[in-house]
Amino acid sequence: MLSNSTRELNPLQKRQLYRCCALPIALYRFQLWYYNKAPLNYPLKSLRKMQRRVALWITGAFHTSPTMGVEAIIGLIPINLYLKKLYQRFHLQGFSLLPNHIIKSILMSVDSNKHDPHRLSLKSLTAKQKLKLQSPLIDMNNSCNEYVPLFSPFNQEFSPGNRLINSFSD
């Protein structure tokens, strides 16, 4: 609809429109279906089709043009790599939750011994149940315990005046 207007959008504006408006709508709450053991064939196939159509619309290239080449010309990341980047950011959000947050009480994090565990906590599951369970929380729990064992956003070191540069200026 926008390309049929009297003053057509230039390719830079089309790319910006896709990245700012269409992509966030298409990937809204993708964490619900994108996790470790989830079948990803159908969602990734439809997202690849969408990105290919957009890449051809932005460049005005032929439909027989190679997808990766057209995406590289306009500067789009392949959709599977973009999803991995977003998913890693989703895991980092779990680290910044308050210690008394319900998600933190469900996870089996290293610092969860300070508070009473939730009755639905992952600690109460057997090893067999943990293997069968498919959920983004399982992935968040695994990354929480493997990569960053202790992280507190309210640590005294992060407050102004207590940073390493302030303490040792030389």
Q: What are the respective helix, strand and coil percentages of the chain, to the nearest 5?
A: 60, 0, 40
Angle at which helices 79-95 and 136-146 cross, to 10°: 70
- pLDDT tens digit at each of 170 positions of the chain: 555 555 788 888 899 999 999 999 999 988 888 877 677 888 899 999 999 999 999 998 888 888 888 998 888 999 989 998 888 888 777 777 787 777 777 776 545 555 566 666 777 777 777 777 777 777 777 666 555 545 566 777 777 777 666 666 66
CA-closest candidate to residue 37, choices 142, 131, 144, 124: 131
Res 110: pLDDT: 47
pTM (global) more than 0.85: no
| pLDDT for the residue 169 | 65
What is the pLDDT, as a whole number, of residue 120? 66
Tokens, residue 44: 């990734």
Q: What is the pLDDT of residue 79?
A: 92
**CA proximity to 106, closest of 119, 93, 87, 92:** 119
Beta strands, E only, 54-162: none
End-to-end CA distance of the chain: 61
C-alpha dist (Å) from residue 141 to 34, 56, 92, 117, 128:
15, 40, 11, 14, 16
